[in-house]
Structures are given as structure tokens and as C-alpha cells.
Amino acid sequence: MSPGRIETSLTTHAEFRQQLRERLLVNKEKVLLRVVSAPNFDQPLEFTGATLLRRAEELASLLGLSKERSVVLLLLPHSAELFLLQLGLVLKGHVPAILAWPTSRIDPDKYQRNLVHQLSNLPADLLITLPRLAKNLAGILPYPATGLKVENSAVYEKIFPAGQVSERLEQREFPERNTRPSAETLFLQFSGGTTGAQKAIVVTVAMLSQQLAQLREALSFTAEDVVASWLPLYHDMGLIACYWMPLWHGAPSHQIGANDWVINPELLLKYIDRHRATFCWLPNFSFSYLGQRREQMQGEYRLDSVRAWINCSEPVRLKSMRQFAMAFADWGVRKESLQASYAMAETVFAITQSELGREAFTVSRSRVHHGSRTYSELAFDLIDDVYVSSGRPIRDTELRIVAADGSVCAESVPGEIHVRTPSLFSGYWGSEGFQTHTLRDGWHATGDFGFLVEGELFVIGRFKDIAIVGGNNIFPEDVEAIVNAIDGIYPGRVVAFGVEDQDLGTQSLAVVAEVRDEFNEESESKLETAIRKLVLTTIGVAPRYVAVVPQRWIVKSTAGKISRRETRERFERERLSVARGEVI
């Protein structure tokens, strides 16, 4: 059996399901999945290929779905049942969609609004959630809600805002819908949601099989590899790279809950050591977070088995990767194992991948032509004086950089990143069913800002997030990196953005930063002054507005990413009228 040939030739749902069953049975005695849950972190639930197949199909069959290609919304915490249902529903020909479960990293109001939007706008046939929540939602939703008990159900039910969600849903109207996904739809996965409500992307057989083949080739991934992850399944990095990819290729994955990892990041390293994991995907902030927590870790671990620590889902920062490499060098982390990828849910997952075994490819900021903005030397002690490559496009994937006038940019000139690939989506699942996404000659405009050098992609940030202050382009990510270095600021909890200034006829720079310790007026005033001085000294532009706020004030998406747009809206709504506006 030739995996590459089979993967690229799959076209129908039946073919995919048959291949999936065969692949699980080939590994009938091999453990393919370990789910690590509190409180028994040292006793994960283990599933061989045969057990996975049997348990997944049994659980899906218990739902009693009579309609073909039923859309099933899964609102469950990290649990074995969530992994089994995602797999079992696909095997039974239905269409699962995993909704985010709340965590301490997500703004409660943002989470509730996003969830209510999903529950009221996505045509569905069934919601599966915890028993108490299912009871609360019964009679409100236009489709049934079934309760499913999982490990620690009572604990999870206590922290879920069931009352608030129910109240919001009661105010909604639910029009009658009679829609069904196409025959080739496998499941729905959601966009990041940092610039608005999450959209449900339709993932088809062709899209997923192409992506899984592309990933295998780009990573030289085999059944001998092992994946360790704390990433949730409602995020494409967790669902595709860390669950479907190893499962499809007969490799084991070890799954830790996101909340458990945040509280005890050492868990991830413990499982990497115990099972000699070879791949680990992490967003950029995780590299800094793990490095900062090294001194508090109680054990010692061998991490030399990891072929690739892949930095993904955020602009890659060399400083974060170096900090991680230095912190764990004595445990076996090698600089050449630090890799990067550019990915998005609209292409199932990966678009680019750096070359394994090679240290990060960087380009000096001075080489990049993005206007007259120059930073002081001090800035490069706080941010990187280089951009880090996210790698080359994976097989059959094309990239181009497009200027505001629609022309294609030359090398080293930034613009909007456009992508064309066989795994690219063709539409969303919305209130009226499938909604086609219009492409121009097969190209998708990502909304991200970046450039190409020697065929490799460098991502700067979101195109819409660039602040234009006095004719100068200010990249919020740079300002945030600088402010993050200030003692007393909570690392990773800084947002910079432009605020329209009608009097000056331009944008003014605003910075919102959460404090690390107790919030009080004295510390607020000192930190505001420090932020203003440091940003002016390094970037050359003084922020007109600075707001130092308590922890958890900044709005995050359900994927755990900072939502710059909604944080700006909250700032304008709550703080702009009282913000200190003096420019020093």
C-alpha cells in the first residue's frame, strides 16, 4: 500500500472512511492515543487502533442519528469522549464541529458572545454537551441537546456560565432551516476569531487528505514519530497537526488539557520524556512561557528526542525561541530543532514549513522595505532585529505578496499574503447552510502582512492591525514586544493599536497592558510613564494613550489569542474618555 498515492487519490467520503478503518486496524495493537486528564496525570487513558475504532463507533452509534450527514456540535471539555466523538462521527458519515470550551485565558463575555453566535447561527441537528448544560439548553435551541457525562463532569459544569448563555440564547430568534452539508464534507473547523466571530470552515475529504499527505512529506513524518500536545481540538493546530495527522499515519499522540498545561507546563515535558516524543507544535508565546517557568520545574527531563519544536499560529520571534533553547539546552533542546510553520484553518492547517535540521533562517529588518520607520538600537535589545522565516510553501502550495494596488510585490517588499493550494477551502457553514467563498483565480487573501525572501515566507502580523501614525507604519507586534520587557507587566498580555484622531487627521498609538502583580493606582501611574518613555525611545513614536489594567482585562478569542479589535473596542468604550492623553 502506497500511503502517498492513496492519500492524494481519495475523493469520496466512503473511500476516506474505509481507508481510516484500515489504517486503525493495521495498528490494532499499537497505542495511538493517550488522553491525560486531572487528577490522574500519571495514568492516561490509552487507546490502541482497534480500541479507538470500536469505542469511537460505539459512542457515535449511541446518539441514534437517523439523518445522513447530520451536523453535530460538540461542546465538551478536554476528555477522551471528545476525541472519540470527533473520530466516531466521521466514521459514521456525520459532520462534527468542536466548539470551544471556556478556559481561564479567554475573556468570559467574548466567549459567551461567540458561543451564542455559533449555537444560534449554525444549522445543526444535535448538540452534545455535559448533562446539566444540556438540560439548561433544552427547549431553547431549535435542535436537541444531549447530555454526555465525562471525567470530572461536575467540576466542569460548575465553571461553565450556563445561566448567562441560556439568557442570551433566549433573546435570539431561530429561523427554520433545512440544509445539509455536501456528501464530501468531513467536519467543520473554526477560524481563529481574533478579528470577529469565528467562522465554520467546511473541511472536505479532498482538503484533509491533501493536507495530511503534504504534512507527511514536509516533515518526513512516519509511524515511528510521536506527537505531544496541549493544544485544544477546537484549534486547527490541535485538531489537524496533533490529532488527525499522527492518527492517519499510524503514530501515537499524547494529549494534555490546555488548562492543565497552563497551570503546570511541566506536564508536557514529562510526557515528551516518558514517550520520547519527536514533534511538538506550540504558539510563539509558549516558548517564552516555558522558558520563564524553567526555574520552577521540579523534575529533570530528556528532550533530545524532539526532532522539531514547531512555532506556529503567531508571528515567530527569534528572542522567544532563543530563550527556550537556552533554558532547556542542558535537557537536550538543540537550536536546529526549533522550527516554524505558517498555517490557518482555511487551508486545513499548514501552508509553509521550515526545513527540519536547519537553524532558523532570518532576515535583517533593514533589508525589508516597509517605509521610513527606523528604530533606535535599543529597540533591537527588546525586540528582534531580524524577522524569522516560517519556511517554504509545502508541496503544491503557492504564495504571493500583494500590494494595496493589487500588484505583486518584489522580494523583501511586504504586502498582504495570498495563498493557493489544493487544501484550500471553498466556503463556510453559516446561517443559510454552505456559503461559497469567492476566490480570484484560486487565490485566497489571508489578511496577513509579510514578505518573501529566497522563496521563504516571513510573517509580520495582521494587515488590518498596522497603525499609521503621522504617515509611518507602526507594527503593533513590535510595540507589544517592547512593552512586554518592562518589569511589572504581565508577559504576553500587551495590546497595541491605532486610534483614529479626528483633530490630527491621523491615527494615534494606544497601548493597553496588564499588570503582573496587584493592581493599584501608584503602580499604574509608574508603569504608564515607563511605557511611554520606552516606546518613544525605541520606536520613535510616543503612544498618546496608555492604559495599565488588571489581569484578564484584555479580550482573547476562544482560541486563546489576543483579540486586538475587541480590545480596542473595549478601550474606546471604557477607557478612551478617561485615558491619560499627554504626549511626553
DSSP string, 283-350: -HHHHHHHHHHGGG--S----TT-SEEEE-SS---HHHHHHHHHHTGGGT--GGGEEEEEE-GGGSSE
Can you name the residues that pair with 467 across neighbouring β-strands?
474
Chunk the chain into consecutive blocks of 10 residues (it has 584) and report each block's average pLDDT, rounded to whole numbers.
Answer: 46 92 98 94 96 98 90 96 98 96 75 86 93 90 93 88 85 75 93 67 95 97 98 95 98 96 94 98 90 93 98 84 95 97 96 96 80 49 78 97 92 93 90 79 91 94 77 80 87 86 74 86 86 85 89 76 82 68 38
Please report, to the nearest 10 degrees, the dihedral formed by the alpha carbons of residues 113, 117, 118, 120 taken in order. Answer: 130
Q: Which helix (H) or strand (E) holds 16?
A: helix 13-26
Q: Is 192 exposed, middle or buried (0-12, 13-18, 19+ CB in 10 A)?
A: buried
Q: What is the 3-state secondary structure (H, E, C) of 49-117?
A: HHHHHHHHHHHHHCCCCCCCCCEEEEECCCCHHHHHHHHHHHHCCCEEEECCCCCCCCCHHHHHHHHHH
Residue 108 pLDDT: 76
3-state secondary structure of 262: helix
342-345: long-range pairs with CB below 8 Å, 24+: 342/312, 342/390, 342/391, 342/417, 342/457, 342/459, 343/236, 343/237, 343/241, 343/312, 343/313, 344/191, 344/192, 344/236, 344/446, 345/189, 345/190, 345/191, 345/192, 345/201, 345/236, 345/425
Residue 371 pLDDT: 47
For residue 232, the one-letter residue type is: P
Residue 311 pLDDT: 96
* CATH annotation of 3-14+56-213: 3.40.50
Phi, psi of 487 (to 5 degrees): -65, 130
What is the edge-to-edge ordering of all strands in the sheet holding 338-343?
Answer: 45-48, 31-36, 253-256, 227-229, 279-282, 308-311, 338-343, 350-353, 392-393
Reported CATH class of domain 466-574: alpha beta
Identify the CA nearest to 136 among candidates 108, 159, 115, 157: 157
Residue spans of the domains in the chain: they are 3-14+56-213, 466-574
Reported as half-sphere exposure (CB side, CA atoms, 13 A), residue 322 has a value of 9
* Residue 10 CA: distances (Å) to CA of 209, 276, 396, 442: 7, 32, 16, 21
Residue 366 pLDDT: 76
For residue 463, the one-letter residue type is: F
3-state secondary structure of 166: helix
For residue 66, the one-letter residue type is: S
Reported as half-sphere exposure (CB side, CA atoms, 13 A), residue 46 has a value of 9
Grid cell in block for residue 386:
531580524
Phi, psi of 424 (to 5 degrees): -75, 140
* Contact of 280 with 268, CB cutoff 8 Å: yes
Q: What is the 3-state secondary structure (H, E, C) of 120-136?
A: HHCCCCEEEECHHHHHH
Spell 428-438 as b/e; 16+ CB within 10 A means b: bbeeebbeeee
Residues 243, 194, 287, 389, CA torsion sign: positive
Q: Which helix (H) or strand (E) holds 481?
A: helix 476-484
* Contact of 72 with 65, CB cutoff 8 Å: yes
* Contact of 144 with 126, CB cutoff 8 Å: yes
Residue 5 pLDDT: 39
DSSP classification of residue 437:
P
DSSP classification of residue 410:
P
Phi-psi region of 23 (alpha: psi -120 to 50; beta: other; left: phi over 0): alpha
Reported as half-sphere exposure (CB side, CA atoms, 13 A), residue 245 has a value of 33
- The span from the first CA to the last CA of the chain, in angstroms, equals 69
CA–CA gap between residue 99 and residue 115 (Å, rounded) = 8
Is the previous residue joined to 39 through a cis bond, with omega within 30 degrees of 0? yes
Phi-psi region of 433 (alpha: psi -120 to 50; beta: other; left: phi over 0): left
